[in-house]
Structure 1
Amino acid sequence: MTTSFASLPFTPSPRSASWCFLLLEYMDEFATLAWYLVADGKLVEDTFARTIAKLDMTAFESSIPAIAYSQARDVLITQAIAVLSDARREEDENRFFRPPAFGSLPDHPRLAFMLRLIIRSSEAEVAKFLGVSPSEVRGLVKHAIDRLSVVTPISAASGCYDA
C-alpha cells in the first residue's frame, strides 16, 4: 500500500510562497489543466502537491511573469503525467499481481489528444512531456480520435433520443 504524496509533510520555503501565489492566481486554469490530464480529484490533489514540491526546488523568476507561468505550467503537466503513471502502475500491480509492461503508459493516446488538441500544446511539447517523438504524437492523437469515433454515444447506448 502506498502513501499519497499529498499526505506527506511539506514545509514551505520562502521560494515556494512565490510559487504558491502564482498557482493561486491561476488556480482555475491550472486546476482545469490538471483535471483534463488526470481526470480524478485525488490525483489532482497529488499533482498539485508534487508540483509545489518540485517548484520549491526551482528559482522563481519574478522579473518576467510569463517565464514563471510557463515553468509552473510545464511542471504541473510533468507531475500530472507522473501521478497518472504511478496510479496506473499501482492499479495494474494490484489488479493482476504482475509488474507493469516496460515503458508503457496506457494513457498515452488520451494524454497526447488532450495536450495537443484540447490544451493546444505543440507536437514538440507533447513529445517532450510524453517522452516520444513528434511523429509518434501524431500517431497517438490519431489512435485516440479513432477510438473516440468507434465509441457508441451514451444516449444511443441507453436508448435516450431527442424527439
Structure 2
Amino acid sequence: METRLELDVLIYPDEVRVATPEDVRDWELETASQVSIPTVRLFVALYPYNPAAMSPNPETAAEELPFVPGQIIKVFGDTDADGFYHGMSLMPSLSDVASIPDDVVVRRMVALFDYDPWESSPNMDSEVELGFRSGDIIYVLGNMDQDGFYYGDLHGRRGLVPSNFLQPLPWE
C-alpha cells in the first residue's frame, strides 16, 4: 500500500519551508481580498432583443448579444454603468435553427385569429408554417415575403405566418 503525503510549501529566494496551517490561512485571507469571484446567474429571455434595431447605444450594438424568447443566457456580475450585464448564450434556444442576421428588424404582432396551417394553409409545404391562436404575440423577423407571409417566432418556435392574420403591437 502506497502512502502519500501532501504538503504546502513556501518558496522564498533564499529558502523553501513547509507551510504551517497559520501560513496557509494568512495566504488565503490575503488573496481573498485581492481576488473577486464574479456572481454568475442564469436568465431566460422573455422577449426578443435585436441590438441592430433596438440598442440604445448604436455605436456599440455589434458588441451586444441578440436573443429570442426562451433562450438561456449566462450572466456574470452586476450591470455596468449603462445598465447592461456581461453575458453569453449558454445554449441556443430551440428556435435558433435559423439565426437572425444583425440587421433584421424585429416587430411585435398580435394574432387576430386562430391559424392551423394543416387546415387553412394555401401552401403545399404547411410544415414550415407556424400555428397560433388568437391573442398570441408573435415576433416577426424581417419583411413580408411575396406570398404575404412573415417569418415569425412564437415561444421559441419559428415558421412562416400569414400577414393577414396579424396586427402590429407596439413595444411597451
User: TM-score, normalization: structure 2?
Assistant: 0.20
Larger radius of gyration: 2
Q: Which has more strand, going by share of residues?
A: 2
Q: Which has more helix, going by share of residues?
A: 1
Task: Point out which structure has higher relative CO (alpha carbons under 8 A, 6+ apart).
Answer: 1
